[in-house]
């Protein structure tokens, strides 16, 4: 059988989107995404595209609610008396896509992997206090911690439960219990999902979703215009969104979001180890211009990564203003004086790595110009996302631009994952190799505090210290934006920008 014939039969058999609009099931959706998932294992894949697919393929014990607190997903019970032992119970009758019923053995396997020394995952840093996962009965497990941790539920949220003993197959051909099941995954091309009729909350209102990889934003907009794509979520440039708002056959939905864009730094670099240099870069960047002209107002300035709608947010953080003179004075103080007075010779050279996506290349060019005004020559190097991310994790960077996507920053425990000295890769996300004992202490106190009010106080202390140290430079927090065909109904965007809402999207009769 030829591949073309095989694909055609697959489309007919699964009733999912293939080819042009006239050949696809009208009750299946096509979503354009900018990059391919790297790993469909929910315990491993951390890039935005992978996490989007995880939210469709898998169910979790808990999930992040609209107020950024944890709420039940699978769990009918998730409780503790001392924040050191958590009891989780799942209902009977939850089935995986292959028909097997989920039990506590599957829950235990999912989280015991993070205790396995041979299991490589940046998520493991979230479970440093986890000592054991004990099976109580067929539907109940106990998480045993080495010390009290009120943040533990947030680290359980949005972690897809996988079948016991799944192994390496999860990365490419996973079996979950979410509202959709995997039909086909062709890296760098598409992920095809079919509606799962046996989902414990009921089948989706559509027949399936194809996530089509369209690397170029302009092409994503063109495919929306032609009707070859039904929906794009957070994957269009602000300029394109403004243009597409004028299209009568399209609709635009905007909602507050938590995606956090930043300039990352490698503090092992001798230049960037100096806080005065980091602060000089912070003063040289004109964030408001980036928000106004590059983001077209579809973002807001932020001084830290804890979202403004979070219960642990504080608005009294140190925040950089655009002040070239202050940047130059800090560089003078750090020993990087202007070598020729007012002239073309730069004070120092730095390299910034960014994505090949147009929006990020344009942003990098703006930052390059702004730093140049302060006397910092910036060399921009663009890479495909997988290469960029690999370099960041390995520390093969000076400066870089990335985004923490909504679900990852929903709980303030993200401060521990990103800034605690114990969380350097591969254990966690402290890719700056930042170490401040006062920050560690504040985060440790927040983790062990038993009340939300106490936790918030300690997290706010940590945020103030981090903002002054500038181990990363906040740029903006993005609004969630969906552009869709006008005949789609049920588009309700959550703050974390996941795709869970797709299960309720359908096409109204023409």
Q: What is the pLDDT of residue 458?
A: 96
pLDDT tens-place string over residues 356-368: 988 899 999 999 9
Write out the DSSP string of 42-90.
TTT--SHHHHHHHHHH---SEEE-TTSSEEESS-SEEEESSSSEEEEE-
Which residue in 487, 420, 422 sits closest to 459, CA to CA? 420
| pLDDT: which is higher, 7 or 222 | 222
Contact 144, 130 (CB under 8 A): yes
- Dihedral over Cα of 312, 482, 60, 388: its sign: negative
Q: Taking residues 103-115, report their average pLDDT.
A: 97
Would you place residue 510 in the very low, low, confident or very high pLDDT band (cuts 50, 70, 90)? low
Domain 3-50+178-255+479-507 falls under CATH 3.40.190.10: yes
Is residue 1 scored above 70 in pLDDT? no
Domain locations in the chain as residue ranges: 3-50+178-255+479-507, 59-169, 260-478
Look-up: residue for tokens 């903002």?
A: 467
In whole angstroms, give the CA distance from residue 148 to residue 131.
Answer: 12
Is residue 282 scored above 80 in pLDDT? yes
Is residue 13 scored above 60 in pLDDT? no
In three-state secondary structure terms, 482 is strand
Q: Taking residues 496-508, report their average pLDDT.
A: 93
Q: What is the pLDDT of residue 99?
A: 96
Would you place residue 341 in the very low, low, confident or very high pLDDT band (cuts 50, 70, 90)? confident
Pick 260-478's CATH classification: 3.10.105.10, 3.30.750.24, 3.30.420.40, 1.10.10.10: 3.10.105.10
Q: Taking residues 374-391, report their average pLDDT.
A: 94
Average pLDDT across the chain, whole number: 91
Query: What percent of the chain clears pLDDT 90, i.e. is strictly above it?
Result: 75
Is residue 52 scored above 60 in pLDDT? yes
The CA–CA distances, whole Å, from 116 to 45, 110, 268 equal 17, 11, 29
For the domain made up of 59-169, give the CATH fold.
Dipeptide-binding Protein; domain 1 (3.90.76)
C-alpha 284 chain-centroid distance: 27
Would you place residue 386 in the very low, low, confident or very high pLDDT band (cuts 50, 70, 90)? confident
SS3 letters across 281-322: HHHHCCHHHHHHHHCCCCEECCCCCCCCCCCCCCCCCCCCCC
Instruction: Give yes or no for a cis peptide into 426 (omega within 30° of 0).
Output: yes
Would you place residue 467 in the very low, low, confident or very high pLDDT band (cuts 50, 70, 90)? very high
Would you place residue 122 in the very low, low, confident or very high pLDDT band (cuts 50, 70, 90)? confident
């Amino acid at each position: 059988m030829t591949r073309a014939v095989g694909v055609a039969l697959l489309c007919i058999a699964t009733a999912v989107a293939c080819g042009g609009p006239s050949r696809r099931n009208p009750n299946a959706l096509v979503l354009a995404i900018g990059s391919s998932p790297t790993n469909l294992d929910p315990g491993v894949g951390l890039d935005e595209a992978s996490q989007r697919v995880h939210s469709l393929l898998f169910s979790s014990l808990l999930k992040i609610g609209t107020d950024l607190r944890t709420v039940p997903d699978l769990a009918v019970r998730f409780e503790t008396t001392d924040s050191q032992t958590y009891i989780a119970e799942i209902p009977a009758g939850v089935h995986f896509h292959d028909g097997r019923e989920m039990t506590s053995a599957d829950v235990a396997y999912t989280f015991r992997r993070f205790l396995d020394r041979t299991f490589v995952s940046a998520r493991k840093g979230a479970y440093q206090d986890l000592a054991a996962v004990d099976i109580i009965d067929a539907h109940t497990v106990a998480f045993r911690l080495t010390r009290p941790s009120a943040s533990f539920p947030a680290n359980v949220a949005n972690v897809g439960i996988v079948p016991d003993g799944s192994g390496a197959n999860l990365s490419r051909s996973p079996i979950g219990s979410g509202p959709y099941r995997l039909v086909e995954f062709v890296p760098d091309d598409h992920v095809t999902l079919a509606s799962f009729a046996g989902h414990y909350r009921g089948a989706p209102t559509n027949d399936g979703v194809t996530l089509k990889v369209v690397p170029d934003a302009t092409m994503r907009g063109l495919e929306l215009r032609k009707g070859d794509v039904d929906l794009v979520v957070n994957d269009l440039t602000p300029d394109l969104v403004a243009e597409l708002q004028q299209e009568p056959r399209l609709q635009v939905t905007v909602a507050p979001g938590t995606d956090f864009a930043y300039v990352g730094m490698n503090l092992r670099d001798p230049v960037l180890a100096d806080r005065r240099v980091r602060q000089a870069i912070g003063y040289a960047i004109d964030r408001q211009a980036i928000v106004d002209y590059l983001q077209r107002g579809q973002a807001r300035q932020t001084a830290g990564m804890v979202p403004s709608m979070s219960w642990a947010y504080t608005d009294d953080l140190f925040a950089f203003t655009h002040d070239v003179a202050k940047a130059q004075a800090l560089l003078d103080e750090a020993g990087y004086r202007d070598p020729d007075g007012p002239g073309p010779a730069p004070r120092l050279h730095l390299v910034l790595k960014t994505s090949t996506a147009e929006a990020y290349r344009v942003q990098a060019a703006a930052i390059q110009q702004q730093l140049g005004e302060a006397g910092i020559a910036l060399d921009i190097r663009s890479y495909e996302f997988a290469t960029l991310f690999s370099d960041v994790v390995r520390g093969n960077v000076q400066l870089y631009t990335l985004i923490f996507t909504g679900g990852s920053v929903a709980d303030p425990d993200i401060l521990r994952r990103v800034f605690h000295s114990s969380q350097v890769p591969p254990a966690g996300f402290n890719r700056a190799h930042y170490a401040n004992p006062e920050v560690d202490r504040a985060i440790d106190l927040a983790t062990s505090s038993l009340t939300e009010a106490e936790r918030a106080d300690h997290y706010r202390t940590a945020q103030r210290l981090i903002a002054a140290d500038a181990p990363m430079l906040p740029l903006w927090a993005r609004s969630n934006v969906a552009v869709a065909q006008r005949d789609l109904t049920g588009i309700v965007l959550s703050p974390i920008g996941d795709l869970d809402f797709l299960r309720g999207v359908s096409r109204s009769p023409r």
